[in-house]
Amino acid sequence: MSRDHYIALVGKIVRVAENLRDEPGGLSLQDLALRTGYVKSSVHRILQSLRMHGYIEQDASGGKYRLGMQFLVLASGFVSHIELVKIGRPYLEELVERFDENAYLAELRGGKGIFVDVIEAPLDLRLGGGPRLAEVHFHATAAGKAMAAFLPVESRMAIVHSASFPALTERTRTDPSEVERDWAEIRERGYATNDEETITGAAFLAAPVFDSRLRVSGSISVGVPKVRFTPAFAEDIASHLMDACHRLSEKLGETGYVHPHHGEFTLIEYSKQPVYLSKEG
């Protein structure tokens, strides 16, 4: 790495944290100074600054220092992402095996929807896999619409009032009232569709995934070349897709999975659960 882009203080903070990581029981200021090779006053300033933000804990005045709970909170986002992909992948594999079409997993992160996993079908004529970490469109992609439709009313309104709805193809809905009606229909039937709204010649279906608190956390979608997208095939995919998302949501509930990436979305009771999560079954 170029020295022009290196910040020495950050390097010192990392070294202090790594030494504490290796000693769960904690270290004294003197021990940390000896292990890092930094002067005590420098180490003390780093510790006190991190302590103010909850990243460092101290037994008592003059006691040993340990990593604080805020480091666990910081890491939980990455851990939860890994957990969702790990638990969700078998359901993608199941859909690909059954339909020979691509399957995608998306999740909410900080008020946005992001594709985090994709499994491509083995057929020669198939849709491109698409880049992981690509952002979904809440008004156009099936994956995005399936998540947005089950957000709280306040969060949906925030999207409508703050987001622009670009026309990606001639079939893209760009009028906010049309987008809201589409979300309402998705809540009624339990899954979303994207019929050439983002890619000409491609159709997608998606259903939402919920965590142990019944908060929408992501979605699974299946992509089909338009030449194979018959009504009967779409209905078959939708049925199995909703079932897969139902079972994945139940699995996340059993494991106690709580999705942390709601960001600016208001954590209130959702206005309506999808059909497959309703009390009526």
Query: pLDDT tens digits, residue range 195-242?
Result: 999 999 999 999 999 998 899 999 999 999 999 999 999 999 999 999
State the pLDDT at residue 258. Answer: 83
Q: How far apart are CA 216 and CA 266, in angstroms?
A: 12
Cα 14 from Cα 257, distance rounded (Å): 29
Domain end position, chosen among 12, 40, 67 = 67
- For residue 155, give the CATH number of its domain: 3.30.450.40
Question: What residue numbers bound the domain in which 15 lies?
Answer: 3-67
Q: What secondary structure letter does DSSP report for 5?
A: G
Helix (H, G, I), strand (E, B) or coil at 56: strand
Beta bridge partners of 103: 119, 222
- Report the C-alpha gap between 35 and 26 in whole angstroms: 13
Q: Are 182 and 86 contained in the same domain?
A: yes
Query: According to the model, what pLDDT value does residue 173 have?
Result: 95
Q: Are residues 41 and 108 in the same domain?
A: no
Same-domain check for residues 136 and 109: yes
- Residues 206, 272 share a domain: yes
Specify whether 140 is located in the same domain as 193. yes
pLDDT in tens, 51-88: 998 889 887 777 899 988 777 666 555 555 668 888 99
pLDDT band at 275 (very low <50, low <70, confident <90, very high): very low
- Provide the token pair at 160: 């409508």
The per-residue pLDDT for range 82-114, each reduced to its tens digit, is 688 889 999 999 999 999 999 999 999 877 888
Both 102 and 27 in a single domain? no
Backbone φ, ψ for residue 141 (5° rounding) = -70, 145
pTM reported for the whole predicted model: 0.67
Q: How far apart are CA 40 and CA 20, in angstroms?
A: 15
Domains held by the chain: number: 2
φ, ψ (nearest 5 deg) of residue 165: -115, 85
CA angle 178, 182, 267 (to 5 degrees): 110
